[in-house]
Amino acid sequence: MIEIDGSSGEGGGQILRSALSLSCRLGKPFRILNIRAGRKNPGLQPQHLTCVRAAQLISGAEVRGDSKGSSELSFIPGKVQAGHYRFDIGTAGSTSLVFQTILLPLCFARGESDITITGGTHVPWSPPFHYLKYVFLPLLQRTGINVSLEIERWGFYPKGGGLINGSIRPASSINPINIEQRGRLKDLRGISVTGNLPINIAERQKASALEVLRSHSLQADIEVFSPPCIGQGTFFFLLGEFENSTAGFSSLGERGKRAEDVGKEAAMGFIRFYSGNGSIDRQLADQIVPYLALLDRASLFTTREITGHLLTNIWVIKKFLDVRIEVEGRKGESGKITVNPQ
């Protein structure tokens, strides 16, 4: 059984989620200790338990230690079964993170799967729905994996209640990627959203973002609207489409945070990416590596920033796979990642 120290690297829930995904896909059992040891509320929380139980359901796994606050978990997977699955996090926990946990194994299952998840769709410390749909999934599609994702209802922190639906159509063959240069910027667009709050807040977010972009001789088409949701919240998202890649940057409103700062935050995220080197953004780098590690041919990409999340994910991957992943560059700087299956 593979032994994993959950306090290693970033020491967060990502270690658990990556281990669950790879365990299900490869049929390799694991035991994780010190789960989220460095966090303010260590151990398994409701969102992490939903990930565990989702992985358990799709693989018929035998699980020990799956209780709130648990610092240790054993997971022995069975065979992954495609099917129709529904999961309710019960809090504003991230629907995106639960979806990503089971997406990888279901992408390689025999048959199509339909997934419904209830929880937080646009919440802190996780990729928002729009990042998955418009940045992560299009890159997966380039490998040959066909996944669609739709949102029925938005869910902000702390009430959650959002609803997403995903359909996974496994590919007959998976292709590597080679994206060393992002190419020229073809299109820059975004959305500015308020949920059960005055629409002028979204207009202020938009105006602030456009001001930042104009100061760098850039323009963007920003749509303003109020989506169906439970609770209140604001959100801003920018999508940059380049010749060879796509990058996304977002910001969430919160009590005491000015609308202008929400728009500025996302716009500055794009400016930092646009002004530097790297074909894909920092979030996408750590999210795509597990898929590339499962292929039988080499992949290569450059990233604007080598993050702790990326390095931690590579560490987890090497626990499960005999794969050579070369990182050229230092943490916090741009770099090149080469994934060479053995």
pLDDT tens profile 29-43: 999 999 998 788 899
Report pLDDT for 173. Answer: 80
Domain boundaries, the chain: 1-78, 82-175, 185-275, 278-342
Determine the CATH number of domain 1-78: 3.30.110
Q: How far apart are CA 170 and CA 204, in angstroms?
A: 42
pTM assigned to the model? 0.96
Length of the chain: 342
Which homologous superfamily is 82-175 in? RNA 3'-terminal phosphate cyclase domain (3.65.10.20)
Distance of CA 101 to the CA centre of its chain: 9
Report pLDDT for 91. Answer: 84
The bridge status of strand 233-242 relative to strand 185-195 is antiparallel
Q: In a 10 Å sphere around its CB, with 0-12 CB exposed, 13-18 middle and 19+ buried, how is residue 255 labelled? A: exposed
* Residue type for position 327: V
Q: What is the mean pLDDT of residues 55-62?
A: 98
Predicted confidence (pLDDT) at residue 9 exceeds the cutoff of 90:
no
Residues with catalytic roles: 309
Do 303 and 275 touch, CB atoms closer than 8 A? no
Do 94 and 123 touch, CB atoms closer than 8 A? yes
Predicted confidence (pLDDT) at residue 239 exceeds the cutoff of 90:
yes
Per-residue pLDDT reduced to its tens digit, 85-119: 999 998 889 999 999 999 999 999 999 999 999 99
Locus of tokens 């590596």: 289
Q: How far apart are CA 32 and CA 19, in angstroms?
A: 9
Per-residue pLDDT reduced to its tens digit, 154-198: 999 999 999 999 999 988 788 999 999 999 999 999 999 999 999
> Confidence band (pLDDT; 50, 70, 90) for 328?
very high
Predicted confidence (pLDDT) at residue 262 exceeds the cutoff of 90:
yes
Report pLDDT for 171. Answer: 80
> Confidence band (pLDDT; 50, 70, 90) for 296?
confident
CATH number (3.30.360.20, 3.40.50.2000, 3.30.70.260, 3.30.1540.20) of 185-275 reads 3.30.360.20
Say which residue, 326 or 40, is predicted with more confidence: 326
Report pLDDT for 172. Answer: 77
Predicted confidence (pLDDT) at residue 51 exceeds the cutoff of 90:
yes
